[in-house]
Amino acid sequence: MAALKHRRTALERVEKFISEVYFTDCNLRGRLFGDRCPAASLSCFQTPRRIPYDEAVRQEFAPVKVGDSFGPTWETCWFKVELSIPPAWAGREVHFVWESDGEGMVWRDAQPVQGLTKEGEKTSYILTSSLKETEPHSVTLYVELACNGLFGAGKGSMIAPPDPDRRFTLSKAELVVFNRDVYELLVDLEILLDMAQLLGEENQRSFQALYTANQMVNVCDVGDPSTFPAARGLAAAIFSQRNGESQHTIHAVGHCHIDSAWLWPYEETIRKCARSWVTVVRLMEHNPELTFACSQAQQFEWVRSWYPGLYARIQDFVAKGRFIPVGGTWVEMDGNLPSGESMVRQFLQGQRFFQEQFGQICSEFWLPDTFGYSAQLPQLMRGCGIRRFLTQKLSWNLVNTFPHHTFFWEGIDGSRVLTHFPPGDSYGMHGRVEEVLKTVKNNKDKGRVNHSAFLFGFGDGGGGPTQKMLDRMKRMSDTDGLPRVQISTPDRLFSVLEKESSQLCTWVGELFLELHNGTYTTQAQIKKGNRECERILHDVEVLSTLALARSGTFQYPTSELQRLWRLLLLNQFHDVLPGSCIQLVVEDALRYYAEIRGAGARLQEEAVQSLCGDLLQPGVGSTQSTLVLNTLPWERTEVISRTGPAGTETLALVTVPSMGYAVVKEPLQPPQPVTVRKQEDGSVTMENGVIAVCLDTMGRLTSLHLVGSQRESVPEGCYANQFALFDDVPLYWDAWDVMDYHLETRKPVTTLLKPLEISLAGGLRGSASFSLQIGKSSTLTQEIILDATCPYLRFLTQVEWKEAHKFLKVEFPLLVRSTNATYEIQFGHLQRPTHGNTSWDWARFEVWAHKWVDLSEHGFGVALLNDCKYGASAHGNVLSLSLLRAPKSPDATADMGHHQFTYAVMPHWGSFQDAGVIQCAYNLNFPLHPVPASSAQCPEAWSSFSVSSPAVVLETVKQAEDSPGAVVVRLYEAHGSTVEAWLQTSLPVQEATLCDLLERPVAGGCLRLEQRGVRLSFTPFRVLSLLLVLRR
Ligand SMILES: [Zn+2]
């Protein structure tokens, strides 16, 4: 008899039928599991170390029981579990159910077989799908339990610092009979119920789904499985009613975002990869359609060296095109702060790894979770064999909604890549009806393209896809009312998007994330380590390459440099370099930087020894002189500090040729010495013939101008080099976020501890020092330094930082009017507004830059240079550099303690390009290297490379990856101009060819070697790489 149905009661009736909470005594859910049987025996061995299986199983195991708890945090418990399956369960599906806090890995026969994590909805290990009499009924398993959750062990909230004393309880370890037919019905009903609820009353499919589900409940007798097929038949009938041709297609790809370190240390990530990927492999064995996109070469490398058995199975699935390496980079790095060369190396190390291991490079860049994307990335991707890009992070924008999900992204040089943001705004979908509907509804490019990505699987802390996600999506593959859901691959998706791309829009410039702008500043020691180590590896490569080219015997440190680069690249991971990680990770990161510094110093010494060894041997009775090396591609005249014969430090003005060296006996006389004078009011003036400054007793600039001009840089009544302290309390993401309202809490720092005093009287160098009290308990000491001939004033700064939720900046109000400021980025620069006209302008109240920022009007401007800072802002005529933050989560000790950094101010005529701001910022970051030498022999100066145009920077000189007798050099156009330049070299080059960023020769890229070198043509911000084959 047909009954009138009340929508709400019908919905709730079905809900209760599958509820995990209500009526489980009589509903379908309560029948999911049949008989149970406890483990025959359970014992445990606990260790603070992460040890291999072989070592673990040799240890003493002590009996434990369900209900016991283990810990504390970061310990590892190895459980030995002996199971005995009751013979009466013949023909049944038998699961080993493990429920505990912490992340588990099941080992069987000495191999990892599955990850078990309650938070990742994985608590069952299937022992058999149908127990046969011939199967062994006694099984021994080991469970390796990490005492940390999927998201670490935050005390009270996810991002709070880890609770060191957390206990981890084992709540279930037993055998159960699993009723697969009940499970299938539950999934049917869940999907129908979601369709009924989410499609809404205006959609007839909603009612069709509801009435079908209601009828299934009528048909089902939970105590009589013979009634189930009829109910399943009802569901199958509705799921098989197909869509029309125009329906949107969702490309579902399994994924598992694993942060390489975040709320847990690097070492735990190795196990997270293994737990997640072994589970994927197992799912693949049972689900022939499953595909899985997997990024980060470093994580593959970890699994390769720690889990070779698992890695071999992964390699099989890679070969089948199902386990799909994506991204092309070493790690999913931060998208803002790594230098241009670092980004190239992310791809170089990544793509070469994928090529070596799997015989293929990645065709899409994959960075779903990074805090903004440099406008130089499109060119770098294109140079690394990549035309496609996937992310979704801009869905986190706090202020503006990004207007596209599928579009062309155009970088500062004009390179374009096809870009897709999965419209569901997540990389961790669960295959729910709600998510597939959102994917269609939210898509901003409806009508332009009809395909979207859908990445499913638990992520961030790992976990990955589950069987249930797959089973849900199977039911939605082509069901009227829902988008088509196909298991697909990134390549299939991008291929159809490319075909449909004629109507797509273009976004030009950076993909700025309007959130997490504190990550340009948080964990200043990590930022400093990154900048310094980028410089160290640059210098080691330049000097080693020169040594290689000049000496037949020098061994280029290929493998050591690869090791050091990989450490640096690893630390550029998107929760490490941004500073959004726990203290354990910070300690690891700083240790890696120390490793690079130490090994880098050794390598540099070896290269210098080989390059100019004969100059370094002090001859008998010779007066000591100094060898000065310059790793930058232009001649430099600078004041250096050198060690004299008696071990005393003395200053000397030297000129060193481009990428080469000079032996200095008699230092140069400056055209004009630095003068430093104290005025009656306590202020100090300094002048060097280039710039002149006046400093008040608090070290603030009241005047800054170019000598011979009255053009003042500091407005009347204003102070430049003014420190300011802001309250810095974000809404939630402490280490990540600086909110716009912090600007309303500005307090100038004006408590003087030690007034300005002259510390160096002038001549080659003048300086003055002072100290300030910051806030309640922090102090700052600064030495303001002016060198002979130098066009900028340096601020060598020491801070004892003991604040909580405060933000320290230094401000330079300038007598310059411009609606835009210019910021250095990777291999170039871009402009951002100095105003907040629109919400898009306003949202960039705190931005990032690399070595310099400039505010210019026609004919004049002022630049701020720095040696390890990344946060900056320009509001009206005030340029600010962000110095230190004091967040307390996830690292309660973040940034506490001593800091040293240098920034500089540089007024200039003309444009910053013509004034040499770019070169000065390099000079500040790449000091000349003085080495004690013998009395000079010939030649006294030597240059390896030089470039004819000041617009072109020769950034990188290294040995070619694939050819030890060849050198790769990388240059870029830095002014934003179209220009021809000659690259000259004194190295014995016999062949020059253009190559891409992966060092593959470009077709037709052979260059003519001429008297003046090779001629190169640049368009704005073009990056060019050359392969130079050396004569032997
Ligand atoms: Zn992440």
Q: Quote the ligand 1 centre to 258 CA distance (angstroms).
A: 7
Q: Quote the ligand 1 centre to 420 CA distance (angstroms).
A: 18
Q: Quote the ligand 1 centre to 259 CA distance (angstroms).
A: 5
Q: How far apart are CA 902 and CA 999, in angstroms?
A: 35
Q: Quote the ligand 1 centre to 370 CA distance (angstroms).
A: 7
Q: Quote the ligand 1 centre to 160 CA distance (angstroms).
A: 17
Q: Quote the ligand 1 centre to 459 CA distance (angstroms).
A: 8
Confidence of residue 735 (pLDDT cuts 50, 70, 90): very high
pLDDT reported for residue 935: 66
pLDDT reported for residue 1: 62
Q: Quote the ligand 1 centre to 428 CA distance (angstroms).
A: 11
In this prediction, residues 587-596 reach a mean pLDDT of 98
Q: How far apart are CA 230 and CA 215, in angstroms?
A: 10
Residue 643 has pLDDT above 80, yes or no: no
pLDDT reported for residue 450: 97
Longest Cα–Cα distance of the chain, Å, equals 116
Q: How far apart are CA 547 and CA 545, in angstroms?
A: 5
> CA-CA distances (angstroms) from residue 116 to 126, 273, 303?
11, 13, 18
Q: Quote the ligand 1 centre to 935 CA distance (angstroms).
A: 56
Residue 318 has pLDDT above 80, yes or no: yes
Q: Quote the ligand 1 centre to 784 CA distance (angstroms).
A: 40
For the whole model, what pTM was predicted? Answer: 0.97
Residue 668 backbone phi and psi in degrees, to 5 = -75, 155
Percentage of the residues of the chain whose pLDDT score is greater than 90 = 95
Q: How far apart are CA 219 and CA 572, in angstroms?
A: 58
Nearest to 178 by CA among 48, 292, 37: 37
Confidence of residue 4 (pLDDT cuts 50, 70, 90): confident
Confidence of residue 1020 (pLDDT cuts 50, 70, 90): very high
**Helical (H) or strand (E) element with 770:** strand 765-774
Q: Quote the ligand 1 centre to 575 CA distance (angstroms).
A: 7
Residue 618 has pLDDT above 70, yes or no: no
pLDDT reported for residue 617: 67
Q: Quote the ligand 1 centre to 262 CA distance (angstroms).
A: 8
Residue 884 has pLDDT above 70, yes or no: yes
Contact between residue 1024 and residue 383 where contact means Cβ atoms under 8 Å apart: no
pLDDT reported for residue 614: 80
Residues in the chain: 1032
pLDDT reported for residue 625: 85
Residue 102 has pLDDT above 90, yes or no: yes
Tell me which of 101, 334, 369, 895 is the catalytic residue. Answer: 369
Q: Quote the ligand 1 centre to 460 CA distance (angstroms).
A: 5
Q: How far apart are CA 546 and CA 992, in angstroms?
A: 17
Confidence of residue 616 (pLDDT cuts 50, 70, 90): confident
Nearest to 1028 by CA among 982, 969, 972, 983: 969
Q: Quote the ligand 1 centre to 296 CA distance (angstroms).
A: 11
Q: Quote the ligand 1 centre to 389 CA distance (angstroms).
A: 16
Q: At what angle do helices 340-358 and 558-571 cross, to 10 degrees?
A: 110
In this prediction, residues 173-199 reach a mean pLDDT of 98
pLDDT reported for residue 809: 98
In this prediction, residues 203-218 reach a mean pLDDT of 97
In this prediction, residues 175-196 reach a mean pLDDT of 98
Count each helix (H run) and each strand (E run) in the chain, helices first: 19, 54
The 10s digit of each residue's pLDDT in 889-916 is: 999 999 999 999 999 999 999 999 999 9
pLDDT reported for residue 477: 98
Q: Quote the ligand 1 centre to 257 CA distance (angstroms).
A: 7
The 10s digit of each residue's pLDDT in 658-705 is: 999 999 888 889 999 999 999 999 999 999 999 999 999 999 999 999
Residue 560 backbone phi and psi in degrees, to 5 = -65, -40
pLDDT reported for residue 622: 54
Residue 938 has pLDDT above 80, yes or no: no
Residue 10 has pLDDT above 60, yes or no: yes
Residue 646 has pLDDT above 80, yes or no: no
pLDDT reported for residue 623: 60
Residue 613 has pLDDT above 90, yes or no: no
> CA-CA distances (angstroms) from residue 786 to 380, 853, 868?
38, 20, 20
Residue 848 has pLDDT above 90, yes or no: yes
Q: Quote the ligand 1 centre to 366 CA distance (angstroms).
A: 12
- Burial pattern 949-977, b for ≥16 Cβ within 10 A else e, equals bbbbbbbbbbbbbeeeebbbbbbbbbbbe
Q: Quote the ligand 1 centre to 731 CA distance (angstroms).
A: 20
**Helical (H) or strand (E) element with 19:** none
Find all residues with CB under 8 Å of 288, minimum gap 6, and list them.
Answer: none
> CA-CA distances (angstroms) from residue 254 to 120, 278, 307, 441, 490?
14, 14, 21, 22, 10
- The mean predicted confidence, pLDDT, of the chain is 96
69-70 and 103-108 strand pairing: unpaired
Q: Quote the ligand 1 centre to 735 CA distance (angstroms).
A: 14
Find all residues with CB under 8 Å of 74, minimum gap 6, and list them.
Answer: 48, 147, 148, 153, 162, 164, 265, 268, 584
Q: At what angle do helices 180-199 and 204-219 cross, to 10 degrees?
A: 150
Residue 1013 has pLDDT above 80, yes or no: yes
pLDDT reported for residue 464: 97
Tokens of 834: 């100095």
- End-to-end CA separation in angstroms for the chain: 95
The 10s digit of each residue's pLDDT in 409-466 is: 999 999 999 999 999 999 999 999 999 999 999 999 999 999 999 999 999 999 999 9
Residue 1023 has pLDDT above 90, yes or no: yes
Q: Quote the ligand 1 centre to 605 CA distance (angstroms).
A: 38
pLDDT reported for residue 552: 80
Confidence of residue 796 (pLDDT cuts 50, 70, 90): very high
For ligand 1, a single-atom ion, the residues with CB < 5 A are 259, 369
Residue 621 has pLDDT above 80, yes or no: no
Q: Quote the ligand 1 centre to 574 CA distance (angstroms).
A: 6
Q: How far apart are CA 650 and CA 664, in angstroms?
A: 13
Q: Quote the ligand 1 centre to 455 CA distance (angstroms).
A: 14
pLDDT reported for residue 460: 95
Q: Quote the ligand 1 centre to 504 CA distance (angstroms).
A: 28
Burial class for 436, CB neighbours closer than 10 Å (0-12, 13-18, 19+): buried
Tokens of 416: 């374009």
The residue among 649 and 846 whose pLDDT is bigger is 846
The 10s digit of each residue's pLDDT in 40-87 is: 999 999 999 999 999 999 999 999 999 999 999 999 999 999 999 999
pLDDT reported for residue 486: 98
pLDDT reported for residue 25: 96
CB atoms within 10 A of CB 607: 25
Q: Quote the ligand 1 centre to 333 CA distance (angstroms).
A: 9
Active site residue 369: yes
Q: Quote the ligand 1 centre to 496 CA distance (angstroms).
A: 27
Residue 716 has pLDDT above 60, yes or no: yes
Q: Quote the ligand 1 centre to 538 CA distance (angstroms).
A: 28
